[in-house]
Structures are given as C-alpha cells and as structure tokens.
C-alpha cells in the first residue's frame, strides 16, 4: 500500500504545505503571510488557529481526505535536548514547543503543533523530523568559558542530514558508515559534524561566518560596546545580528545573484565582502574538521547559496585538502520531511518520544 503524508513547513513569512505519495510530491503550495497578519498574535503558538485554517483550506481545495492519510509531518522546532531523526508529537512535546524555558521561540515550533492538530482529528500519527536543535554533542563540547552559558547545537539539521543520506546512498553505503562535515549555506550559514550517524558538533548561524543577512561571530567586547553605547535599542541590535547583518549590512542587499552581478560590473567592495564570506565559511569547515581527527570522508556544501559556483569554488579552494568536496545545492526541506516520515512509518528508523525533563535535570 502506498503511503500518503501531509507535510507542513511553517516559516516566519510563509506556510508551505504538500501532499506526498511515497517519495513523490503530488501537490505543494506556499502561502505567504503579511507581517501585519502575524503581528496581531502575541506569541508564536497563538498563530496555530490562523495557520491551521490555511491547511484545512488547502486540504478542502485539493479534495484531500484526512482518512486517506498515513501521517502528518511537521517541521521540527527549537526544543532543547532533541536527538536527530523523528519524534512522535505527544503532549509533552507540544508543551515544550510553546515554552520559552524548554525551547526558543521560532516559527518552526508551529510544525509539530499544526501536525498534531490535523493528525488527532483522523487518529493518525503526527511527527516532527530533524529539528534545528537535534544533536548528540558530548559534554565537553557543551562547555564554554562562562559557566552560565552552555553550547547547544543549532544548525540546519533537516537539509544537512537529508543530503548526507543522499550522498551515502549514491555511494551504496549507509549514512552511519560515513564521517562528514556539512555546511548549509542560506540566509543563515551553519555547519555540522556527522560521525557515524550522529551530529557531534556544530557551528550555528550566530557563532560562525557572516551570511547574506546575519552577522555571524564578531569580537565580543566590540559587540558589548555597541549594546551599551546608547545608540541602538535591543531590537535594533537583534536586527544587526539577524536580518540586517552580514552582506546586507555591507552592501544593502542579501541577494547573492545581485551581489555577483555587481562583482561582474567591477564593484570591488562587493568582491572583497563576497570573498571574505567564503573565507569565513572555509574557516568554519576547517575548525569542525578537527573534531574528526583527520578521518573525514567528505565535505558537503548545500543550501540555496551552494548554487553559486563562484562561492563554492572559493570555498573548495581553501578546504579541498581536507577531504573531497561535494556540492548538493538547494533547501530540499519538504522532500526531507516526507522521506523522514516515510522511514519512520516503514520502521527503518526509530520513532523517538520526548518527555519534559524533571526539575533536577538540566535542560540541554
């Protein structure tokens, strides 16, 4: 029997919805949200009824019968302490997705909440898959120089693991057989170390290279000086870090295609900033490769920016000596969610269950 899955991928400005039959995408729509529509809601969780109606409209418009579905898969949110792979959306996970203590507020947190709301109606399972915070960082990788702050893994797990699995399949191997460093190049840039199927370290989009719209890691004392200078509000500083940092701050645009056109037209400033971004990405890859102690099978470059041959060539020029570099461009989020859900339904992967940590346990 062919499996049917409804896939839900909520973002800050859109909700993507798709119907998959096995690995085939049957239908997909992306509903854009006006800022004023979302600003009416005090919290991310308050958006559930609004976005849920959009999903039900999609199902009705395309004559999708809930009784025919085998599962609903939502984008994984920023819940602390999750492992890679898939989770059944239970009540504890829903609580965590709405909690500022157990997760970070983010539109992706809606994925599990929306999936469960649909799935419960038809008595089918709801899953999230490869949440942003999924990792298996050892204790020593979590320690920082400030005891009150622990390192957590934040990276584009969904697309990174999907590309790792695709690469392994192309080699006729299992994902668990390989050691990989994977850099996801998008509006934010992150990278992760995959050792025999486990993400054992990562660099997030706020502690690595600058990207089209994010500042990345910057000298801390200078950042503190700006924060207390009185020139910027907290909201303005957050925008400097996410949204109006990086390439946008230097060049007034985060569109890589426009930046490359400016370089081709002789814009030396654009060329210098573009090359600096590639240099920092390469440094991030080199830093993470150390974790594998030289035993790296491949470096994978993925994400939307990986379509830029100019950028990937610059990066490869720095890191090719570490391991073969494979370029697999694109986001591939809907496909990754569908394939992950299919593996859970077919018993190829374990379905995890989340439980809220006890008070005496540390939330990681």
Q: Are residues 229 and 288 in the same domain?
A: yes
- Strand 14-21 to 4-10 pairing: antiparallel
pLDDT confidence of residue 150: 87
Residue with the two structure tokens 């890691």: 217
Nearest-angstrom CA–CA distance, 318 and 281: 10
Structural contact between residues 216 and 278, judged by C-beta atoms closer than 8 angstroms: no
Q: Are residues 208 and 191 in the same domain?
A: yes
Q: Are residues 340 and 320 in the same domain?
A: no
Q: Are residues 296 and 281 in the same domain?
A: yes
Residue 150 falls inside a structural domain: no
Q: Are residues 315 and 347 in the same domain?
A: no
- CATH number of the domain encompassing residue 177: 3.30.420.40
Nearest-angstrom CA–CA distance, 96 and 109: 9
Helix, strand or coil, per DSSP, at residue 65: coil
- 267 burial (CB, 10 Å; 0-12 / 13-18 / 19+) is middle
DSSP secondary structure, 226-271, as one string: HHTSSSS-HHHHHHHHBTS-HHHHHHS---HHHHHHHHHTT-HHHH
pLDDT confidence of residue 187: 85
**CA-wise closest residue to 232 among 249, 254, 210:** 249
Residue 322 falls inside a structural domain: yes
Q: Are residues 34 and 164 in the same domain?
A: no
pLDDT confidence of residue 353: 96
Q: Are residues 161 and 249 in the same domain?
A: yes
Residue 8 falls inside a structural domain: yes
Q: Are residues 326 and 348 in the same domain?
A: no
Residue 141 falls inside a structural domain: no
Q: Are residues 192 and 125 in the same domain?
A: no
Where does residue 98 fall: left (phi above 0), alpha (psi -120 to 50 degrees), or beta otherwise? alpha
Residue 214 falls inside a structural domain: yes
Q: Are residues 106 and 217 in the same domain?
A: no
In the chain, how many domains are there? Answer: 2
pLDDT confidence of residue 359: 60
Nearest-angstrom CA–CA distance, 207 and 114: 30
Q: Are residues 303 and 344 in the same domain?
A: no
The HSE-up count of residue 166 (CA atoms within 13 Å, CB side) is: 19
| pTM: predicted TM-score of the whole model, two decimal places | 0.85
Question: In order along the chain (364 residues), what is the average pLDDT of each group of 10 residues?
Answer: 94 91 94 82 90 95 95 93 93 94 88 97 96 85 91 86 95 96 93 94 91 93 96 93 91 93 97 97 97 96 96 98 97 92 95 83 47
Residue 33 falls inside a structural domain: yes
Domain limits for position 126: 4-134+334-353
DSSP state of 362: P
Residue 359 falls inside a structural domain: no
* Residues in a beta bridge with 256: none
**CA-wise closest residue to 9 among 74, 99, 79, 87:** 74
- Residues 285, 288, 294, 297: what is their CA dihedral angle, to the nearest 10 degrees? -60
Q: Are residues 263 and 322 in the same domain?
A: yes
Residue 143 falls inside a structural domain: no
């Amino acid at each position: 029997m062919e499996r049917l899955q409804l896939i839900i991928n909520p973002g800050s400005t859109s909700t993507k919805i798709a119907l998959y039959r096995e690995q085939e995408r049957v239908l997909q729509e992306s509903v854009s949200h006006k800022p004023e529509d979302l600003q009416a809601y005090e919290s991310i969780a308050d958006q559930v009824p609004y976005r849920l109606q959009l999903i039900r409209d999609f199902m009705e418009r395309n004559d999708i019968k809930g009784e025919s579905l085998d599962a609903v898969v939502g984008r994984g949110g920023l819940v602390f302490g999750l492992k890679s792979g898939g989770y059944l959306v239970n009540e504890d996970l829903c609580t965590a997705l709405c909690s500022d203590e157990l997760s970070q507020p983010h539109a992706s947190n809606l994925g599990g909440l929306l999936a469960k709301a649909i799935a419960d109606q038809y008595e089918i399972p709801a899953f999230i898959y490869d949440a942003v915070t999924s990792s298996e960082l050892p204790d020593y990788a979590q320690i920082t120089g400030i005891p009150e702050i622990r390192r957590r893994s934040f990276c584009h797990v969904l697309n990174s693991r999907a590309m790792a699995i695709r690469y392994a399949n192309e080699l006729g191997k299992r994902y668990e057989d390989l050691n990989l460093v994977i850099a996801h190049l998008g509006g934010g840039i992150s990278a992760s170390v995959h050792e025999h199927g486990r993400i054992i370290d990562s660099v997030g989009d706020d502690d690595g290279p600058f990207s089209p719209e994010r500042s990345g890691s910057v000298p801390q004392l200078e950042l503190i000086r700006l924060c207390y200078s009185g020139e910027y509000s907290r909201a303005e500083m957050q925008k400097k870090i996410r949204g109006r940092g990086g390439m946008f701050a230097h060049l007034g645009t985060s569109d890589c295609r426009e930046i490359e056109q400016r370089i081709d037209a002789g814009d030396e400033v654009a060329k210098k900033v573009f090359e600096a971004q590639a240099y920092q990405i390469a440094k991030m890859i080199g830093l993470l490769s150390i974790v594998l102690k030289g035993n790296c099978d491949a470096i994978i470059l993925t994400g939307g920016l990986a379509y830029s041959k100019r950028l990937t060539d610059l990066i490869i020029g720095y890191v090719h000596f570490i391991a073969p570099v494979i370029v697999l461009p694109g986001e591939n989020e809907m496909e990754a969610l569908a394939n992950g859900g299919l593996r859970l339904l077919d018993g190829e992967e374990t379905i995890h269950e989340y439980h809220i940590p006890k008070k005496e346990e540390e939330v990681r």
